[in-house]
Amino acid sequence: MFVGVPHAKVGHMRMRQLGSGGPEMSMIGFGAWEAGGDMWGGNESEDTVIGAMRSGLDAGMTWIDTAEVYGKGVSEELVGRAVADRRDQVLVATKVGPSPEGSGFRPDEVRAGCEASLGRLGIDVIDLYQLHWPDETGVPIEDTWGAMSELQDAGKVRFIGVSNFDRELIEQCEAIRHVDSLQQEFSMLALDDRDLIRWCGEHGTGVVSYGPLGFGLLTGAISRDQAVSASDWRRTEDDGPFSDEKLDRNFTIVEALRPIADRLAITMAQLALAWNVAQPGVTSAIAGSRDRDHARDNAAAGDVDLDEKTLAEIEGVLSG
């Protein structure tokens, strides 16, 4: 069925199960990376950020993703405040990072990282605890994943997942304990892990995609001049979405998608999110914002269905 306009429902969204045994979760989740206030510029105010989170939840999002390294704990603290009066309605996902940026991946460090996150979030159990990116300091993944399994057995976390992992690392973890989820960058502008995401879906590992809006480009609201003059990581990093190497292709795709969104009477962001969750293997897409209205609009994408003809049209744009 094709639906060009989001269903007129407030506070509800289509749900999916995370992998073969995970929780039911909304097809769009709230991403709290920006809330850290470090990589994306400072927060206007804590109340503004919390208000955006609550707007997303009010509009039907049932889960929030954060991490210990986002603002060195600031994001977790704000998430904790946002969900304090509705904890039983929201799944909280966070991540532990390898050292030196994060707590570290040695078993004792993973346990300490979990306890610290629980404290900042103000909760008794983390619904989804994830390894943020692969360790490069020599800690065996078997030791780290064993510690994650122990946290699950101890009731500190409900489900365990990984982020930015490849298939080989996932299979190493799987030999010890089932990997409930993979969090991976995936968007119309970042298709490198498409086969991995499909494979995860076929093997019972749910996938939550990050960066589904191309870190702002797929909203259609950023001009080339704004992208070129940006001072954050999107422009300064060699492989950032605003880098000279990627800018021409990315803007070509964005402009080709604009008439499709207009025809369907949806926003560019809603088109990008609806496409994302329609891809094989994807359970849910993470959409972050510090703006209440944007959070509500992102949530509405969870009830946009794209028919096969539209999906094929988009594939033509992406392969052009």
129 is catalytic: no
Backbone angles phi, psi at 91, to 5 degrees: -85, 130
- The Cα 104–Cα 45 span in angstroms is 30
> From CA 103, how far away is CA 80, in angstroms rounded?
19
**In contact, 311 and 275? CB cutoff 8 Å:** yes
Q: Which of 70, 145, 165, 210 is catalytic?
A: 70
Active site residues: 70
